[in-house]
A and B are shown apart, each in its own frame.
Chain A
Amino acid sequence: MSSAVEAHFRIQAPNSRPRAVTVIALDAGGAEAVRRLAAGEWSHATFCTVAGPGQLKRVDGSTIDLDEQVRTADLVVMVTSAEGRSQVAAEIGRVCSDRRVTTTTLIVGAIDAPDEALTKTLAQVRPWSLMLVLAADEQYIADMMTALRA
Chain B
Amino acid sequence: MLRKEQNDQLTQTGPGTPMGDMFRCYWIPALLAAELPENDCPPVRVKLLSERLIAFRDTNGRCGVMDEFCAHRGVSLWFGRNEECGLRCSYHGWKYDVTGQCIDVPSEPTESGFAKKIKLRSYPLVERGGVLWTYMGPPDRQPPLPEWEFATVPASQSYMSKRLQEANWLQAMEGGIDSSHVSWLHRGDLNSDPLFKGAKGNQYNLSDARPVFEVVESPGGLYIGARRNAEERKYYWRITQWVMPSFTMIAPRGTHTVHGHFWIPIDDEQCWAWSFDYRPDRELTAAEVSAMCDGKGIHVKVDGGYRPLANKDNDYLIDRVAQKLGKTFSGVEGIGMQDASLQESMGPIVDRTKENLVSTDNGIIMARHRLLRALKAFKEKGVLPPGIDAVHQRVRSAAIVLPADQPFTEGAKDALVVRPDVAHASV
A: residues with CB less than 8 A from B are 1-4, 6-7, 10, 15-16, 75, 102-104, 110-111, 115, 118-119, 122-123, 126, 129-137, 139-140, 143-144, 146-149
Asked if A132 and B365 sit within 8 Å, CB to CB, the answer is no
Whether A135 contacts B217 by the Cβ 8 Å rule is yes
Known: A15-B354, A126-B405, A136-B217. A147 touches B359 (CB 8 A): no
A-B complex: 10 closest residue pairs judged by Cβ atoms: A123-B405, A131-B359, A134-B216, A7-B347, A132-B214, A147-B365, A104-B359, A143-B369, A136-B217, A133-B215
- B213 / chain A contacts, CB cutoff of 8 Å: 131-132
- Residue of B at shortest CB range from A110? B216
| Shortest Cβ gap from A124 to chain B (Å) | 9
CA A33 – CA B35 in complex, angstroms?
53
B366 at the interface (CB under 8 A from A): yes
| Residues of chain A contacted by B277 (CB below 8 angstroms) | none
* Contact between chains at A2 and B344 (CB < 8 Å): yes
Return chain B residues, CB-CB under 8 Å to A129: 212
Restricting to B290-327, which residues have a CB under 8 Å from any CB of A?
312
**Also in contact, A122 and B348, with CB within 8 A (given A102-B359, A131-B360, A148-B358):** no
B1 at the interface (CB under 8 A from A): yes
> In the complex, what distance in Å separates the CA atom of A6 from the CA atom of B166?
14
Excluding A131-B360, A140-B369, A148-B365, 10 further A-B contacts by CB distance (< 8 Å) are A3-B347, A4-B348, A7-B349, A110-B216, A122-B405, A133-B366, A134-B215, A143-B365, A143-B372, A144-B362
From B2, B215, B269, B409, A132 is in contact (CB under 8 Å) with B215
Give the nearest-CB partner of B348 in chain A.
A4
**In the complex, which residue of chain B has the Cβ closest to the Cβ of A133?**
B215
Can you sample 9 A-B contacts with CB below 8 Å? A2-B166, A10-B347, A102-B358, A130-B360, A131-B362, A133-B216, A135-B217, A143-B365, A147-B357
Residues of B contacting A6 in the complex (Cβ-Cβ under 8 angstroms): 347
Q: Shortest beta-carbon distance, B203 to chain A, in Å?
A: 22
Within the complex, which residue of B166, B167, B212, B215 is in contact with A130, where a contact is CB–CB below 8 Å?
B212
* B346 touches A (CB below 8 Å): yes
Contact with B217, one of A7, A111, A123 (Cβ below 8 angstroms) = A111
Q: For the complex, what is the distance from the CA of A1 to the CA of B312, rounded to whole Å?
A: 8
Given contacts A2-B166, A2-B348, A131-B213, contact A144 B360 (CB under 8 A): no
State whether the Cβ of B368 lies closer than 8 Å to any Cβ in chain A: yes
Q: Which A residues are in CB contact (< 8 Å) with B359? A: 75, 102-104, 130-131, 148
Q: Please tell me if the beta carbons of A133 and B348 are within 8 angstroms of each other in the complex.
A: no
- The reply to whether A2 and B312 contact each other, CB–CB distance below 8 Å, is yes
Asked whether B285 is an interface residue with its Cβ less than 8 Å from the other chain, the reply is no
| Cross-interface CB contact of B357 among A137, A140, A148, cutoff 8 Å | A148
